[in-house]
């Protein structure tokens, strides 16, 4: 999505260690109008896929997932990162390894809202190593649902998570893929 | 908002201890189309208020705040609940006492995104004792901004937080106010 690439170049900031910071429009302050535009583009890409639900993970995936769900006219469900060891019998649970924090965490959704027969689009703001997406896909499979694919705002292509999922036959649509960040220069795929 | 009252009666579930559960449309699974309708209603109520930014708190406030911001055409900012004791100099910080968990937690926003001159609408999914709203209002005041008011999906009127804010001259618009829940019967204001 050309508009997102331009926005990253115009508004994104590159921090030490080649970290792209987009918390001015994507994951702290949020450009609501622009997210609705990304929602339109994602709906266009997945037209005819028969999606019944949008699934994301708290917290920064919620905004873009809501934009997509509103445009699609289906419910959005956000998985919760569990802090407690309480197991609720009415939850599907998976474990996600956090690249950023170096720890594992539990991710849960209520069994009431993910069902056999659901055709689910997984939406998130970032895709790096793909662990969070794999966790969400696992929850869908536990429920007996179908994965329509994934829709991501920014994919860090050089971390390989998106391509690994694609190699397994999972559809992954990213609005922008960063293939290289070197010396403050971003190269898009 | 009549449509929300009807939705609560139709889809909400009352748990032991008179707890209203609306995680099928508001704070786990989210009825995206309905949230956009609430966004329309909130925008109508605050027409002419000159709002420049919508502020909420992660995680379950993000969806309704995005709906409002998209309809208003202004950015949305979500405050983060801090787990670490790291103080970042570029953050405004406040402390919120959690009624649910019986503990205090830090709430932060980047100083980059809340400014003098901002006219801020505070949005959240629930209002009970008002502690979270007071924390967000404190962040706006630290930044030198102006509070346009608050917009809430469901206010638990019997907990008094909304009326205390109103008594202090803060505009609080709730799409539904529950004045009583007894023996599974909900009375709206």
- pLDDT digits over B92-148, tens only? 999 998 876 778 899 999 999 999 999 999 999 999 999 999 999 999 999 999 999
Task: Specify the DSSP class assigned to residue A88.
Answer: P
Query: In the predicted model, is pLDDT for residue A83 greater than 90?
Result: no
Å between A45 CA and nearest CA of chain B: 19
Contact B56, B123 (CB under 8 A): yes
Query: In the predicted model, is pLDDT for residue A107 greater than 90?
Result: yes
Task: Name the phi and psi angles at B104, rounded to 5.
Answer: -95, 150
Query: In the predicted model, is pLDDT for residue A100 greater than 90?
Result: no
Å between B114 CA and nearest CA of chain A: 9
Query: Distance (Å, rounded) from C-alpha B155 to C-alpha B140?
Result: 22
- Say what angle helices B62-72 and B32-45 make with each other, to 10 degrees: 50
Q: What mean pLDDT value characterizes chain A?
A: 94
Q: Which of A55, A44, A25 is nearest to A173 (CA)?
A: A44
How many Cβ contacts (< 8 angstroms) between chains A and B?
101
A75: closest chain B residue by CA: B31
- Strand, helix or coil at A35? helix
Does B36 sit within 8 Å of A69, measured CB to CB? no
Question: Which residues of chain B neighbour A109 with C-beta distances below 8 Å?
Answer: 28
Query: Distance (Å, rounded) from C-alpha B40 to C-alpha B55?
Result: 17
Query: In the predicted model, is pLDDT for residue A25 greater than 80?
Result: yes
Query: In the predicted model, is pLDDT for residue A183 greater than 90?
Result: no
Q: What is the pLDDT of residue A32?
A: 98
Å between B60 CA and nearest CA of chain A: 8
Q: Residue range A99-111: average pLDDT?
A: 87
Q: Residue range A105-110: average pLDDT?
A: 95
Distances (CA, A) of A160 to A168, A177, B93, B184: 13, 11, 36, 52
């Amino acid at each position: 999505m050309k508009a997102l690439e331009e926005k990253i170049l115009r508004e994104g900031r590159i921090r030490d260690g080649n970290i792209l910071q987009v918390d001015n429009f994507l994951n702290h302050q949020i450009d609501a109008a622009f997210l609705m535009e990304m929602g339109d583009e994602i709906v266009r890409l997945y037209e005819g896929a028969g999606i019944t639900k949008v699934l994301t993970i708290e917290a920064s995936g919620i905004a873009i997932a809501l934009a997509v769900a509103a445009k699609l006219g289906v419910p959005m469900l956000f998985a919760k990162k569990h802090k407690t060891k309480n197991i609720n019998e009415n939850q599907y649970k998976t474990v996600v390894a956090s690249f950023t924090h170096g720890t594992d965490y539990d991710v849960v959704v209520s069994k009431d809202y993910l069902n056999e027969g659901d055709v689910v689009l997984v939406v998130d703001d970032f895709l790096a190593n793909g662990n969070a997406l794999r966790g969400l896909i696992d929850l869908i499979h536990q429920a007996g649902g179908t994965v329509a694919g994934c829709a991501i705002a920014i994919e860090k292509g050089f971390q390989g998570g998106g391509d690994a999922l694609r190699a397994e036959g999972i559809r992954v649509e990213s609005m922008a893929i960063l293939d290289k960040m070197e010396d403050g220069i971003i190269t898009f795929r």
